[in-house]
Amino acid sequence: MIHAYKLNGLNIILDIASGSVHCVDDVAYDAIIAYESRGSEGARELLRAGYGDGDERGNGESGGNGTRESGGRGNGESGGHGTRESGGRGNADRRDNADGRSNANGRSNANGRSNADGRSITNNLESANGSQRISDGDLDELIAEIEELISHGKLFAKEAFSNLSEQERDPPLKALCLNVSHACNMDCSYCFAGRGEYGGGGLMPLETGKRAIDFLIENSEGRRNLDVDFFGGEPLLNLDVVKGVVNYARRVEQSSEKLFRFTLTTNGLLIDDDVIEFANREMSNVVLSLDGRRETNDSARRLPDGSGSYDAVVPKFKELVARRGGKDYYIRGTYTRGNLDFVNDVVHMADLGFTELSLEPAVARPGSPNRLEMDDLPYLCEQYELLASEMLRREKAGNGFRFYHYMLDLRGGPCVYKRLAGCGSGSEYLAVTPKGELYPCHQFVGDDAFLMGDIWSGVADNGIRESFLKNGMYSRPECVACWARLYCSGGCAANAYHETGSIGGIYRFGCELFKKRIESAIALKIQSGFSAHD
């Protein structure tokens, strides 16, 4: 199975099972698409009709409708001359193999087909009336190269992981989300937790937090590195307990042979020198909530009196990040139907000096003014393409930034286990309430149907854990047939549940956004030449 699309002047072929990424010229793009459905001889026939010597390029399946049907945008705007410049010669100096074959890491070179001296075969094609033309000899060479990629398992590779998904898994616990505060000092319009109270309220006592650490140690057999996220509500409303839990964990690290990594998520209102010093000493990561431009942020992230939070938190975030050395943090925001032009918010945060950014689409119930609808998809997809172009421009100018959804490792990627297991909610990752109750993740907290037990008695035998373990990408027919399955691992169970009523459902809007993000991220990686952060 392949996925073919055109974006930012590039022709991109993804081989789904192997993870190989091929950036090719027009002829190779059409050839690979034709080869998948028609085989070697069928591809030759179509290419001769479209590119053969002495013929004008027609509107056959390979050069016309076939390309548009398989491409990302479907309008052919990225094809032709622009593709030859960007996808052909233009990138040849930054890929791996001069012969155009994928290397052991599963990547082909930027033009897809090269002569021994690194020049694209496109250089040898004649041009007439704006169309490429190819000789029978070059066509034979192209088909041979496609078949060589197939023989090396880099093109039309067979599915290799479905049998692994059927194996029984009983993974140990590796992470807890500690909801140390079911209270908040803000009133955000899109808050899934109802002002951070989750239908109840309250602060976690220190003894509960310490017991949560013991519970994590007891249920993490075989794992050394353990993660704990301090979440809310607003966790800084219970700062003394956060500090106490960290101190306790540090005391038991050596005796338990564990290593704890902590994350703090905060709206920033209570950040001061003491918080900065503590966070920068103990937190492996700090997540700071900001939605972008002042007017965007203040329309959603409001104080209880209705005023905005932007002016109160931005200076605090700048100070914390500066004293943190600009590392191990990210700004995490949300965009809604009120700011579909979210790229302007991302760029604004970058202009503030923040380089680690995330802006997530809101998941709201039907009827909410924050809810994103299917009608918004075309514009949002354009925004993600625009974001990739802006990131590339800034990278070249020396003032680049990273965007969470575009952080792909195309050289290696996540391990097979991670691809199959996804985020691990309900099994490897659990949320703990102030009372010590256990839920699959923070987005299920307060829903009695997903109460799994508590940190004193453990996970009850109520089938919830098992349902999450079996809720992988291969459990959904739609995911099995989706080209992006090994990038998303089946998506977010909470989003699926809140949209469809089942953790095994399909949040179709989220799927389409995810696929556009992946397409844009891969195009950006190709154009930027695979940075050191791949």
Within 10 Å of residue 311's Cβ, how many Cβ atoms?
Answer: 11
Q: What's CA 36's distance to the chain center, in Å?
A: 28
What whole-number distance in Å separates Cα of residue 413 and Cα of residue 416? 9
Locate the domains of the chain by residue range: 2-161, 175-418
- Which superfamily, per CATH, for 175-418? Aldolase class I (3.20.20.70)
CA angle 292, 296, 302 (to 5 degrees): 105
Nearest to 26 by CA among 75, 69, 78, 74: 78
Identify the bridge partners of residue 178 per DSSP, sorted by sequence position: 230, 432
Helix (H, G, I), strand (E, B) or coil at 35: helix
Within 10 Å of residue 409's Cβ, how many Cβ atoms?
Answer: 12
Identify the bridge partners of residue 283 per DSSP, sorted by sequence position: 262
Instruction: Please report the pLDDT score of residue 231 as a whole number.
Output: 97
Is residue 161 exposed (0-12), middle (13-18) or buried (19+ Cβ within 10 Å)? middle
User: From edge to edge, which strands make up the β-sheet containing 2-7?
Assistant: 2-7, 10-15, 21-24
Nearest to 177 by CA among 427, 440, 432, 426: 432
One-letter amino acid identity for 151? S
Pseudo-torsion of CA 319, 182, 372, 518, nearest 10°?
A: 60
Cis peptide before 233 (omega within 30 of 0): yes
Q: What's CA 464's distance to the chain center, in Å?
A: 26
Instruction: Please report the pLDDT score of residue 353 as a whole number.
Output: 97
Helix (H, G, I), strand (E, B) or coil at 193: coil
What whole-number distance in Å separates Cα of residue 1 and Cα of residue 473? 16
128 contact partners, CB below 8 Å, separation of at least 6: 56
What whole-number distance in Å separates Cα of residue 4 and Cα of residue 530? 20
pLDDT tens per residue across all 534 residues of the chain: 999 999 999 999 999 988 899 999 999 999 999 999 999 999 999 888 888 764 433 333 333 323 322 333 233 333 332 222 233 222 322 233 323 333 323 333 333 333 322 223 233 333 323 456 788 889 999 999 999 999 999 999 988 776 665 555 788 999 999 999 999 999 999 998 888 888 888 999 999 999 999 999 999 999 999 999 999 999 999 999 999 999 999 999 989 999 999 999 999 999 999 999 999 999 999 999 999 999 999 999 999 999 999 999 999 999 999 999 999 999 999 999 999 999 999 999 999 999 999 999 998 888 889 999 999 999 999 999 999 999 999 999 999 999 999 998 877 666 666 677 678 899 999 999 999 999 999 999 999 999 999 999 999 988 999 999 988 788 888 888 899 988 888 889 999 999 999 999 999 999 999 999 999 999 999 998 854 344
